[in-house]
Structure formats: C-alpha cells, structure tokens
Amino acid sequence: MKNKITLVLILFFLSCSDEELVSLSFFVIPENAGSIVYDGNNNVELGTNIKIEAVSNSPYEFVRWSGDLDGTNNPIDIVASSDLNIVAEFQETNVVLLDSDKDGVPDVNDLCPDTEEGTYVNESGCLVINEFDQSYVQVWGDEFNYQGKPDPELWHHQILPPNPNGGWWNGELQHYTDDIKNSYVDNGSLKIASIKENYVFDGVGRDYTSARLNSKFVFEYGRVDVRAKLPQSEGTWPAIWTLGANINELGNFHKSQYGSVGWPRCGEIDIMEQNGWDKKKLYGTFHWATPSGDYASYGLTTDLNSSSVYRIYSMEWTKDQIKIMVDNKVYVVMNNNNDVPFDNPHYILLNIAMGGNLGGNINPDYTYDIMELDYVRVFQKK
C-alpha cells in the first residue's frame, strides 16, 4: 500500500492595528538665523521619505546640516529610519551695508544721516556733544570698551628713555614698557600699572616698571576731558598732559613729522599731575620757552577731598586762553599770546612715574598701584 503524504500549507496572515512611528525634531543655529521648512507632521511612519529645506534670514546664509544629518545639500530628501534630531547651521554673510554720509555707521542704524565724512560720531551716527559745554563736539577719543592691550590704532607706547644716562628726566626711577601687565584694558577702563620689579633696558637697570602712552591723534585748540582715578601710594607721580607734537623726543610717536624744536619750545600743558606725598593735591601747570628761548612756567594747585574716586580732569584751549579744570571747576587760567606760544598741534600723554622731583620718596613696602581711566575725549568747537 502506497502511503501518500499530504502537505497542508496553512498561511497565517498577521496584522497589527498600530503603525511604528518615529519622531522628527528641528533646530536652528544661531537662533533666529533662519528656519527649516517641512510640510508634514513631526511623527511619521518608519521608513517615510521626507523633504526639508533650510531658509536663511538676512544677513545669514545656510552652511550645513548637522545633528543626525550630515551634508550641505539644500533642500534635502531623507528616509525617516529612526528618531531624528535635525539641525540647520547658518553663518553671517559679509554684507556691505550702505553708508550714504560715510561716517562709518550704516544707513540702517544711522539716526543722523547727514553728518560730514570723517566726522566723529556715536553708534547712532550722531555728533557727540560735550556734557559741560554744548558748543564742543567730539573729534577723537577712547572709551576703553574692549579687552587687552590699549588700541594700537589710537595709542603708542613710549619706551625709549630720552635721557643720555639711559633713564627719564626729573630723577625718575622707572622704566616704561609696552608689556600688558603695565597697561591693559579690562572691564571698561584702561589701567596703567606701576610695579616694583627689577627691569633692565639697554643695559640700564631700574627697580620699577610703568607705562607711558602717546596719543597718535594731534589737535590744536579744543577741550580734553579724561575721567580717571589716581594711585594713592607714596612715591607715585601720575600725569595726564600734552606736549607739542614738534618736540621730536626720542621714542615718541610723531618724531619730526611736525617739527623738531625740543622742550620747552614745543610747549607742555599738565592737565593733571599729583605729587607722591599728598594725594589730595593736584597740579595744573604750563611750560614753554619765551621768544628769547628762556624757560618759563606757570601753574597752580588745588585740593581735593579724594582723588581715589573718579574725577574728570579737563583742559580748554583757545588761541586766547587756556583753562585747567577738575570736575569742570576751573583752577588755573593762563592767557595765550605771542609771548606764550601755545599755537601748535599737541598730543596727549598718560603715565605714572616713580619717585623723582614730584614723586618724592617711595614707600619701601611699595609693590603695585594703578591709574584707572574710564575715557579720554577730545572736543573742538562746532
């Protein structure tokens, strides 16, 4: 008897009521630089083909996809094979913005669109008016709203000693350096620091270092305002002053560009000096050469309750008169005439000397002190 085997194929059809879903999450870097366009739901069936596009906002442009994607195609087609975090990265473009009045402020931000080319303006494109005298507008300055070394476009470090003995004048005991530890901008102000340390320059040693800054800007007549806090240590000699740019002193920035007459023919205006033993006293002084070439000077002092807080040290210079002020109060006035020839461009100097004629004896325990400057501003008549 022949056996027959019957194969019975039974097909089972399995079905489920729930589809398997994956989620899509979208991100843009930087925020508000653009958007991701996707016409669909954020939860889709596994294996779904989707199309996305990155759209930039001005002034940005699309760079690449990242997250769970990689590439630069835009738009891009992808398969949703798992949960996806999709990131569109953008970068700012180098857009040239229109500046009709050529004052350095783009028209889109310019609230004063008719200022003259090259005029000193604020971030809104408007003239900066002096807070004490509205007949003056700012022509140069430094607000110290940055970090690090003083702006090299604005300031020059004078480090070469002009005295033949390898030092500075007036019996001073420091070397000046361009090291950031002696002059630096931090937290909105310039710090000029005098430090007790042995320092050798060109074979000559000194026991103190400091900084001496020259402004690269020169001006003839106008007003200078410097907001500063002064050092309080015995032996420190801080100064805010100007010299005629025709001095041609060794190591200064302007050299012989404006002439070479030396000191005191160049003229010197000491807007603020402070001695090393009385930190409540200020000196305002003028130095010059008479028509016959003799040295001459004139100055006065004033007393302050404190110079360790911010004060505004100012000078107003016209062809007829020069005034020196603190907190806008005049304490020295000198007539300017043919016998007192302050009629040439000057530049600003900022420094702390140690010891010497006006510094006096230095405290033997001295280690470090600073002059802190919030701003330096130069104004001229409208």
Please list, in sequence order, all residues whose beta carbon lies within 8 angstroms of the beta carbon of residue 289, skipping any fewer than 6 positions away: 264, 265, 295, 296, 341
pTM above 0.75, yes or no: yes
* pLDDT over 70 (residue 364): yes
Q: Which residue has the tokens 């653009």?
A: 34
State the average pLDDT over residues 227-248. Answer: 98
For residue 7, pLDDT beyond 60? no
295 has a pLDDT exceeding 90:
yes
Residue in the structure block whose two tokens are 């596994």 = 46
CA distance linking residue 309 with residue 47, whole number of Å: 70
- Does the pLDDT at position 1 exceed 50? no
Residues 263/249, Cβ–Cβ less than 8 Å: yes
In contact, 191 and 180? CB cutoff 8 Å: no
Judged by phi (left if over 0) then psi (alpha if -120 to 50, else beta), residue 141 lies in left
281 — phi, psi (to 5°)?
A: -115, 140
Provide the b/e sequence for 109-141 (b: ≥16 CB within 10 Å): ebeeeebeeebbbeeebbbbebeeeeebbbbbb
Terminal CA-CA length for the chain:
128
Of residues 239, 212, 216, 215, the one with CA closest to residue 158:
212
pLDDT in tens, 153-163: 999 999 999 99
For residue 6, pLDDT beyond 50: no
Contact 282, 239 (CB under 8 A): no
Q: How far apart are CA 217 and CA 222, in angstroms?
A: 13
DSSP state of 127: B
pLDDT tens digits, one per residue of 34-87: 999 999 999 999 999 999 999 999 889 999 999 999 999 999 999 999 999 999
- Answer whether residue 11 shows pLDDT above 50: no
Using CA atoms, how far residue 279 sits from 30, 101, 232, 355, in Å, is 52, 47, 6, 14
Mean pLDDT in residue range 332-338: 96
Q: What is the pLDDT of residues 164-188, one digit of tens each?
A: 999 999 999 999 999 999 999 999 9
Q: Which residue has the tokens 């709203």?
A: 145
Residues with a known catalytic role: 268, 273
Cβ distance 249 to 260 under 8 Å? no
* Residue 233 amino acid letter: S
Cβ–Cβ < 8 Å for 51, 76: yes
Question: If you average pLDDT over residues 92-103, what whole number do you get?
Answer: 85
pLDDT bracket for residue 274 (50, 70, 90): very high
Task: Give pLDDT, residue 12.
Answer: 36
Residue 111 pLDDT grade (very low, low, confident, very high; cuts 50, 70, 90): very high
Is there a contact between 258 and 267 (Cβ–Cβ < 8 Å)? no
Query: Listing from the earlier edge strand, what are the strands of the sheet with 212-215?
Result: 155-157, 212-215, 346-354, 236-244, 268-273, 281-289, 295-303
* pLDDT at residue 8, rounded to an integer: 37
Rounded to the nearest angstrom, the gap between the alpha carbon of residue 246 and the centroid of all alpha carbons in its chain is 27
For 112-151, the pLDDT digits (tens) are: 999 988 899 999 999 999 999 999 999 999 999 999 999 9
Residue ranges of alpha helices (H) inside the chain are 356-359
What is the distance between the alpha carbons of residues 177 and 93, in angstroms, rounded to a whole number? 40
